[in-house]
Structure 1
């Protein structure tokens, strides 16, 4: 019986250590396009977070990374989800309206 208790304690101990290590779960954020502009991206993005790109305009837009790491096509009144896969600064723009720009700053 004593050995069984020790075996059961290990998974519990590991779960407590993981929870206390400050491991954050992924968050979901929205970037809205309206009036031919990207809304401000969140300041605290991390790898694994999800961005919901939402196009409230009556025109088609894209959210396209200058480094080609993503290219989200957004017909009018639509939205698309993207999971952030790497850390770093990424400039983005709309392929149809190149003056529309923004920047994601992603932490590990």
Structure 2
């Protein structure tokens, strides 16, 4: 199992809607993430900068790289695109965050 962290960026005025959509996450998306080897996934918000910080655990033999091709993932990205900075294909702009400290 490995830890993966990254940041994303919300657009102004959408915090409540972003939270609502995640509170109502689609069951098929939740299953897809779990089946792809993603566990213990959390997203944190810096309200001053609207930066989102995500941390997740990846199973050793995860299929995270296949998610961009899955129809459920594509639909979720399209659904979330109006709320955040995205790539041309509506994938959220992700900036990897390297780990510099960990305490068990």
Q: TM-score, normalised by structure 1?
A: 0.31
Instruction: Return the index of the structure with the highest Cα Rg.
Output: 1
Which structure's relative contact order is higher, taking Cα pairs within 8 Å and 6+ residues apart? 2
Which is helix-richer, 1 or 2? 2
Which is strand-richer, 1 or 2? 1
